[in-house]
Structure 1
Amino acid sequence: MQEIADEQIQRHLDIIYRTDSGRILATLIRLLGDFDRAEDAMHDAFAVALERWPRDGVPENPRAWLVSTGRFKAVDGLRRRARFDAAQEKIAEQLESRADATADGTDESVGDDRLRLIFTCCHPALAQDARVALTLREICGLTTEEIARAFLTPAPTLAQRIVRAKGKIRDERIPYQIPSEEELPGRLGPVLQVIYLVFNEGYHASSGDSLLRTDLSDEAIRLGRLLLELLPEPEVTGLLALMLLQGSRRAARTTADGELVLLEHQDRTLWDHGQIAEGVALVERALSSRRFGSHTLQAAIAAVHAEAPDAASTDWAQIVALYTELARITPSPVVELNRAVAVAMRDGPEPGIRLIDKLLVEGGLDTYPLAHAARADLYRRLGNKEEARTSYERALALTDMPPQRRFLEKRLRELEEK
């Protein structure tokens, strides 16, 4: 150990907190068996470090020191409370014996701890909104206020959601473990779903004045990288590829004043071509495994767009084929809508309109604003102002998002000007 100044210690601890608090918390949850107890223990450990390290020096393995100190503080606190509640002593003994039997400071065990935590936060027994909130809080390290602000939810409501999720994990004894090989395919889906939902909320904000929330999409990509590092499955690879490829267009998706720019009109020089190269390499790896799913197919579609030097060069035949396969493995009216638009780009507006009209009647998309916006755009391309206007107005009536409303209103004005 070496003696260093208080100010340097504070900076050093700040760095450790930013880079390693997720790992430390995951291990403490394993050792202490409780989210809240582990969070308190971690914060106690950092407080002790701030007091002792200026005097004693920084330990050789700061993360292991913080885990050990946090565990000791938690057990010691239970023992002190045992004077008033004998049950606390029993819990302390159980935690001490469990910690002695399982404590392991290796990188491999820490990786397993983080993977355990991801699967626990995304357990199918929890409601979807609880999975998202708990994942952002416990794995990504966002504060309750940050998550509430991102999803435009009152902070007390969000806090209660997290409390209920932790209570359910405790009361129903949801195991803090990585699923078995047999269980993994069924359990991986909800994890990928949560990560992509977080990404989409950042990339296509469902509410508020801004189209983009870069903090959320960046957190999802970071989480995707972590999951791929810990669990290199093909569909995890495909999900990360999808997020990177979609995220690469972020700088071109809005104007300087925040207005929506459609893919065909984006300035492709603003795309992040390093991110595209990484995404394309990942999707090729996932496809070569022959064990891919819907996220990989969506990434392959994004890769076709990303590799086209301009909108006119897009290989729409390949995109139609990929959407056809995607609709086969994950049937969805929205996937069929995207396929209809691709068909229109390949074969002309009329075939696309016929497919969209069928989806509006049979696919349950009559209240989906993007379906009407797509139909309007195809009629606009045909020069049929009346049908285009009717569909734009229907789309406008169905959306509350300010950026989408401004875009649709602009389209309606353009129809009048022609």
Structure 2
Amino acid sequence: MTDDRRVDDLLRELAPQVVGTLTRRYGQFDACEDATQEALLKAALRWPEDGIPDHPRGWLSTVASRVLIDEFRSDRSRRRREDAMLSATPQSELLSRPADADSDADRDDSLTLLFLCCHPALSVPSQIALTLRAVGGLTTSQIAAAFLVPEATMAQRISRAKQTIKATGIAFAMPQSVDDRLRAVLRILYLIFNEGYTATSGDDLTAPQLSDEAIRLTRLLGRLLPDDGEASGLLALMLLTDARRPARTLPDGRLVPLAEQDRGLWTRSKIEEGIALISATLPRGDVGPYQLQAAIAAAHDEAVDMDATDWPQILGLYELLEKVAPNPMVTLNRAVAAAMVHGPSVGLDLVATLESDNRMAQNHRLLATRAHLRELAGELTSAASDYREAARRATSLPERRYLSARAADLTR
């Protein structure tokens, strides 16, 4: 690992700890997060040349604390707040000691910070952006690039999220109902991973920075909540899915469907870790949707080729998943599994039940799935038409090109 990569990884690991420590000490999450970002930037410039300090978290906390004090000094409208904070602690001591010098210096506030970023008062886009910046340690420009939006747009989104936290007086503390907020945290991490694994728009099929970050943050959540089956299930799902990434595109960027992928390119270490995780988690009981999806992913990854796939098992898991967490995408996936077990006509009947669902009205995946099943049934003209319409609706360039190519192949 290069020194720059080592520094980058360390900064991303320490970012939520520093934000959490400062917010716990000083309050004012928005100011503490901004100060931490400035400290991270200074460290990114200095550490590769000067070397990583003996106490990197303390270094970052001290620099961020000084940034805070400078900010308080420069803004006269905050004078009362500054005086109140400084009166509790001599200024010289506040500036000279690292935040890690607190009696609870080893306390890790990352989980509290993650729950704060996923507060229900924030919109889902704001939750995602704030999680990636405050907990993930990514810069605004990095997040903007991953989501293919202007940096100014992402900066406004993050700023609005922080202002919402400030205006609503959301406390930096674990919520009383951890279970309810945990579902939101898991969903945000899942959404971040999905956007990285299959980007909703743009020239590239994947945005690896996002899927890698989602895996890293889910590992963090798993360490903080080792007994939570859904946190473990989500990590297993991410690993088992992301293992296929090297085989999902050709060197020229073209999409390769699961049935045609070179499974020798799949990352075996991720598959082994994911299978071990889900195998240890499922017997605990209280099986949730992420565990079921991980079990489905494991069934795919364990098959040496498409013909060896245990489709009856996958169908059974989708039927259970549809009962636990019903939604049209689950039904769409169940339709494919049903077609593989009982024939394409059965799958097409299931797809037909979704055609009047408003949530699927503009979704290209319904048409792409129907096209695939019609192709299996020998209805080539109808399949080509569906592929063309799916391509028209797709916003990802690799998906659009693949669907257009399938339509062209069927009309030759």
Give, in whole Å, the separation in 2 of the partners of 1:32 and 1:364. 44
Deviation at 1:142, TM superposition (A): 1.1
- d(CA) in 2 for partners of 1:11 and 1:372? 42
Q: Tell me if the contact between 1:392 and 1:412 (Cα under 8 Å) persists in the aligned partners.
A: yes
Given the alignment of the two structures, is residue 359 of structure 1 paired with residue 354 of structure 2, yes or no? yes
Match of 1:220 in 2: 214
Maintained 8 Å contact 1:241/1:278: yes
Matched, 1:165 2:151: no
Distance in 2 between the 1:416 and 1:60 partners?
66
| Other structure's SS at 2:326 match | coil
Partner of 2:252: 257
* 1:340–1:95 distance in 2 versus 1, CA, 3 Å: farther
Q: Is 1:138–2:134 an aligned residue pair?
A: yes
Q: Does 1:120 align with 2:119?
A: no
Which residues of 2 match residues 151-300 of structure 1 at below 5 A? 151-180=147-176, 183-232=177-226, 233-300=228-295
In our comparison, the structure showing a higher alpha carbon Rg is 1
- 1:331-383 Cα deviation digits (max 9, x unpaired): 11111111011000111111111111222135753432111111111221222
> How much does 1:71 deviate?
3.5
Shift of 1:159: 0.7
> Which whole-Å CA distance do the structure 2 matches of 1:179 and 1:96 have between them?
32
Change (3 A) 1:299 1:376: same
Give the 3 Å change call, closer, same or farther, for CA 84–359 of structure 1 in structure 2: closer
Distance 1:350 1:94, change over 3 A: farther
Percent identity, aligned pairs only, is 42
Q: Could you say what secondary structure the match of 1:31 adopts?
A: helix
Secondary structure in 2 aligned to 1:255?
coil
- For the residue of structure 2 that corresponds to 1:201, the secondary structure is helix
- Match for residue 92 of structure 1 among 76, 80, 86: 86
In structure 2, the residue matched to 1:391 is: 386
Q: 4+ residue runs of structure 1 moved beyond 6 angstroms?
A: 9-15, 45-48, 79-84
Check 1:290–1:11 CA distance in 2 against 1; reply closer, same or farther (3 A cut). Answer: closer
Contact map agreement 2:230 2:291 (CA 8 A) in 1: yes
Name the counterpart of 2:310: 315
Output one character per residue of 1:133-165: Cα deviation in whole Å (capped at 9) or x when no partner: 101111111111111111111211111111111
Question: Structure 2 vs 1, CA of residues 96 and 373 (structure 1 numbering), >3 Å: closer, same or farther?
Answer: farther
Which residue, out of 283, 288, 305, partners 2:300?
A: 305
Relative to structure 1, the CA distance from residue 142 to residue 351 in structure 2 (aligned partners, 3 Å threshold; closer, same or farther) is same
Moved more, 146-155 or 194-203: 146-155
1:274-321 Cα distance to aligned partner (Å, 9 max, x none): 100100111122212212311111111000001111110111111111
CA separation of 1:238 and 1:14: change in aligned 2, threshold 3 A: closer
In the alignment, what sits opposite 2:17? Answer: 23
The CA distance in 2 between the partners of 1:301 and 1:154, in whole Å, is 37
Report the Cα offset of residue 172 of structure 1: 0.8
Q: 1:28 to 1:393 in 2, by over 3 A?
A: same
In structure 1, list runs of 5 or more residues that go unmatched: 1-8
CA contact (8 A) 1:64 1:105 kept: no
* Amino acid of the structure 1 residue aligned with 2:27: G
Cα distance in 2, alignment partners of residues 229 and 392 from structure 1: 43
How far apart, CA to CA, are the structure 2 residues paired with 1:46 and 1:378? 51
The aligned amino acid for 2:147 is F
1:223 maps to amino acid: L
CA distance in 2: counterparts of 1:193 and 1:289, whole angstroms:
21
Aligned AA for 2:164? K
With over 3 angstroms needed to count, the CA separation of the structure-2 counterparts of 1:378 and 1:58, relative to structure 1, is closer
CA contact (8 A) 2:195 2:211 kept: yes
Q: 1:389 to 1:39 in 2, by over 3 A?
A: closer
Question: CA contact under 8 A between 1:240 and 1:279: conserved in structure 2?
Answer: yes
Normalised by the size of structure 2, how large is the TM-score? 0.87
**Aligned residue pairs, count:** 400
Q: 1: CA distance between counterparts of 2:254 and 2:169? A: 47
Contact kept, 8 Å, 2:12 with 2:136, in 1: the verdict is no
One-letter amino acid of the counterpart of residue 29, structure 2: F
Distance 1:15 1:354, change over 3 A: closer
**Cα distance change, pair 216–367 in 1 and its aligned pair in 2 (3 A):** same
Out of 397-406 and 192-201, give the one that drifted further. Answer: 397-406
Unaligned runs of 5+ residues in structure 2 are none
**1:148 counterpart = 2:144:** yes
2:275 and 2:319 mapped to 1: Cα distance? 20
Separation (CA, whole Å) in 2 of partners of 1:263 and 1:10: 35
In the alignment, is the contact (CA less than 8 A) between 2:15 and 2:134 conserved in 1?
no
Q: 1:12, CA displacement in angstroms?
A: 9.7
